[in-house]
Amino acid sequence: MGSKRALILVDLQNDFCAGGSLEVPYGDEVIAIANRLQPLFDLVIATKDFHPADHTSFASNHSAKVGEVMHLGEINQILWPDHCVQGTRGAEFHPGLDIQFIHKIIFKGTDKNIDSYSAFFDNAHLRHTELQDYLHKENIKEVYIMGLATDYCVKFSCFDAIQLGFKTVVIVDGCRGVELKAGDSENAFKEMRARGAVLLTSDQLSMEKLCE
């Protein structure tokens, strides 16, 4: 049998979609792509940004402004609006997301003292989630990543996947960026490719599957 492929759906949660507290422009558009691609994979994993209300990445917990950068521990932390708080609707998956194919949910950002953009490690690379062990146990060699947001959680999940030795594909049209600065998403795609990610569109992927 060929090597198994996993689809990693990054943070397809209400707070990153229309009307959410950390709305990613056009974030909703990727939900249909996620639904279309899920049946093509051996394994589907979805991540959830899942913060306690007193999380250190929230501007509200420092009486500081959203978008300010604060040096916390050894990390330059961008301060965000409260988002994806455990137990709130904002932390739930987008209601249009098909969840029947999701084998595993990975929760990240659960430690109030440190942020975790990557689905694998916190931002200081001190602790890991269960994702890496899970992929190894399931004999996954290739990961296909899409979701929100291109310039944060997708990018850092991609970097870690490459570093951990996975063949890493990013599904470009399945991602949308926060774009604090115009061009952040484009730069993120360039950086991902420079580190060894393969960039594909969802149509290329569907065609590949058809031609197998």
Q: Which residues are identified as catalytic?
A: 11, 108, 153
Indicate which of ligand VGL, Zn ion, none lies near residue 11 (CB less than 5 to 8 Å, by partner kind).
ligand VGL
Q: Which of 181, 196, 185, 180 is nearest to 150 (CA)?
A: 185
* Amino acid symbol at 5: R
The CA distance from 45 to 58, in Å, is 26
Indicate which of ligand VGL, Zn ion, none lies near residue 205 (CB less than 5 to 8 Å, by partner kind).
none
Indicate which of Zn ion, ligand VGL, none lies near residue 148 (CB less than 5 to 8 Å, by partner kind).
ligand VGL
Other C-beta atoms within 10 Å of 79: how many? 19
Number of H helices, E strands in the chain: 5, 8
Report CA torsion sign: 186, 187, 190, 195: negative
Check residue 15 for interaction with Zn ion (CB under 5 A): no
- Site residues for ligand VGL, 6-35, by CB under 6 A, read 11, 16
Q: Which of 66, 73, 62, 61 is nearest to 23 (CA)?
A: 66
Interaction pattern, residues 65-84, with ligand VGL; x per rule: CB under 6 A: ---------------x----
- Site residues for ligand VGL, 115-134, by CB under 6 A, read 117
Minimum Å distance from CB 99 to Zn ion?
21
* Amino acid symbol at 202: S
Check residue 82 for interaction with Zn ion (CB under 5 A): no
Distance separating the N- and C-terminal Cα atoms of the chain: 13
Q: Which of 23, 28, 49, 122 binds Zn ion (CB under 5 A)?
A: 49
- Site residues for ligand VGL, 141-170, by CB under 6 A, read 148-149, 152-153
Residues that bind ligand VGL (CB under 6 A): 11, 16, 49, 80, 117, 148-149, 152-153
